[in-house]
Structures are given as C-alpha cells and as structure tokens.
Amino acid sequence: MIIIIIVFLVVVLAGNIGFFAVGIKESQRKTIFQRLYAYSDRKESKGNSIKTALDDEMQQSFFKRVINPIINGIALKFNKNGKKSQQTATLARQLMLAGNPSNIGPGEFMAIQILAAVGLSLFLMFIPLILKLKAAFSIIFFAVGIGFGYMYPRFWLGGKIKKRKKEVQKNIPDTLDLLTVSVEAGLGFDMAMSKVAEKSKHALAEEFRKALQEIKMGRTRKDALKDIYRRTEVEDIDTFTNAIIQAEQLGVSIGNVLRIQSDQIRVLRMQKIEEKAMRAPLLMMIPMVLFIFPTIFIVVLGPIAIKVYRSFTGGGGF
C-alpha cells in the first residue's frame, strides 16, 4: 500500500511539472507552430533552414533546451497569479539586495525552488529502495527532500546577500579615496563616479554604474544616490549619500566632504575590528570548555583517580 502511495505521488508530481511546462509564452508557441508548418513544406530552402535551426538548438546545453523552458513555464504561472503578493515583493527585494544573480525574477526563483524540491525528493526517495530498506524510509526521505530542496535556494540567496553587503562595506573607504582624488583633480562628481566605476570591479562600482545610468535617463542625482542605499542596505552608504546630498544643497565643497567621510568610515571600520577582537576570548571559551579542559582533566587527574580507586578497593597503588 505504501509503495502504491509513493508511485501515485510521483505520478502527480510529474503531471504537475508537465502542466507547468505547458505554460510557455505565446511567442514560443508561435515558433513551434511555424516549425511544424515548415516541416510540412517540401521546399528545399525551407528544409535547409529548419535543419540549421534544429542543429543550432541541439548544440545548446541540456539546461537551456529542457530545464529552462520548464522554469519559464512555472514562472509564468507565478507571475500571472501573484504579481502583487507580499511574498513576491519580498523575494524581489531580496534578489535586488543579492545583485540580481543570473538576472532571475521572483517567478523564476520560485520555479527553481519547486524543481529543486521535486528533484531532490525523488532522488532521495529511491535511495532506500535501492538499498532495500523499509518503505517508511522512502516516505521520510521524500519529505526531507521536499523540505531541504525547497529551502536551500533561500539559504543560498541569504548567503549571497550577506556576501554582497560585506563586499560593499569592504570597498567603501578605498572607493571614497578614489572619488576624493578625482574630485580634487578637477573632475565633477559624476565624472569621478564614472572613473571609479570604470577602474574598479566590485559590487559598489556596479552600483555606481547603475546610478550613472539612471542620471543619464533623467533621474536626479539625489534619487539615484538614495537608490544605491536601497539596493545595498549598508549603513555607511546611507551616511555617504546623505552627506553628498547635503553638500550639494548647501554649496559645500564635495572634495572636503568626501575626505571627511573617508576618514570617518575608516575609523568606524577600525572600531568594528577592535570590537570583533574583543569578542575573540569569549568565543574561544566554548572550544576550551568543551574540548581542551576535559582532556587536561583526564591527563592530570586520571592517574590520581585510578590510584585512589585502587587504594580504597584494596588493589594497592601502581
């Protein structure tokens, strides 16, 4: 009975994947119909063009030919059903904070979660069957695979966000130094940002490129700088952008403001490093209490304990 239930679940999941895969964009459907129509035509020129198109498609990777259409189909369903949902908005913000990895949207990310859950659960479900274990283990492995496969993309996304924030935080002082040198050399602030974005290759330089593109498209410098903080959520970026906006509004020299901001951020970074150094002894107490102290007690007190035990039991000393 349990095996029948498992087979039924596999069939249902496979059917759902096929249902989502049908949700291909209208343009893709038209392309398919055009190919079928071209196949029915017996002209040699069309036959050669079809063969060339199929050869080009077959040379693509398995992911682009099979997996990517399935992801697009599932994403299309999510985009239609939940454009304004809170979960979609939260996921879109998290993807933005992670730097939009692989340029995927919320729908595509949810589709990856579903495929990861289904694929891992099916893989783990067959492990007990191969090892000839009880059918109950297949159900347990199936449930674990669904949970872990669905949550792992979220863990990966959280790691990308933390890594990007650290990268931005690390490059702020050096970037401000380059901006200060460029401004004091006679460049305008926008040109200085352009030079930094051109010469540097990190997350903050990429944010400068986006801000410059927004300014070229007509947005004000104030809004473009505020968007940098919105896309990174690093407090030092907020302090830097507010200082630049106030300096521009009050007519203060931007070069002096940049130099002061650079010095302050370096002082803050040094304070954070000292704070982490002060935490080190407390963190070292955990492995010392759990691993080092018991070993020392065994080596030092072990022979004494054995000697006392033998003395009270009449076994004598060593």
Answer with the one of 228, 246, 269 that is the final residue of a domain.
Answer: 269
Helix, strand and coil percent figures for the chain, each rounded to 5 = 85, 0, 15
For the chain, the distance separating the N- and C-terminal CA atoms, rounded to the nearest angstrom, is: 65
| Domains in the chain, number | 2
Q: Is residue 295 part of a domain?
A: no
Structure tokens at 210: 């986006």
Structure tokens at 43: 């002209």
Clarify whether residues 79 and 228 are in a common domain.
no
Better-scored residue on pLDDT, 22 or 289: 289
- CA dist 57 and 222 (Å) reads 46
Residues 136 and 106 in one domain: yes
Mean pLDDT in the chain?
A: 78
Q: Is this prediction's pTM over 0.75?
A: no
Identify the pLDDT of residue 75.
61
Asked if residue 194 and residue 227 are part of one domain, the reply reads yes
Q: Establish how many alpha carbons lie within 13 A of residue 180's alpha carbon, considering only the half-sphere containing its beta carbon.
A: 15
Contact yes or no for 179/204 (Cβ under 8 A): no
Q: How far apart are CA 179 and CA 175, in angstroms?
A: 6
* Residues 257-295: tens digit of each pLDDT: 888 888 888 888 888 888 888 888 888 888 888 888 888
Question: Within this chain, do residues 189 and 136 fall inside the same structural domain, yes or no?
Answer: no
Which of 165, 199, 232 corresponds to the end of one domain?
Answer: 165
**pLDDT, mean of residues 103-121:** 86
Task: State pLDDT tens for residues 164-176.
Answer: 999 999 899 889 8
Mean pLDDT for 37-62 is 54
- Which of the two residues, 217 and 35, has the higher pLDDT score? 217
Counting Cβ atoms within 10 Å, is residue 138 exposed (0-12), middle (13-18) or buried (19+)? Answer: buried
Same-domain pairing of 145 and 26? yes
Structural domain boundaries enclosing 202: 167-269
The model's pLDDT over 189-239, given as tens digits with 9 standing for 90+, comes to 899 999 989 888 889 999 999 999 999 999 999 999 999 999 999 988 998
Assess if residue 200 is contained within a domain: yes
Closest among 48, 50, 30 to 38, alpha carbons compared: 50
pLDDT at 105: 83
For residues 211 and 154, membership in a common domain is answered with: no
What's the CATH number where 225 sits? Answer: 1.20.81.30
- Domain membership flag for residue 124: yes
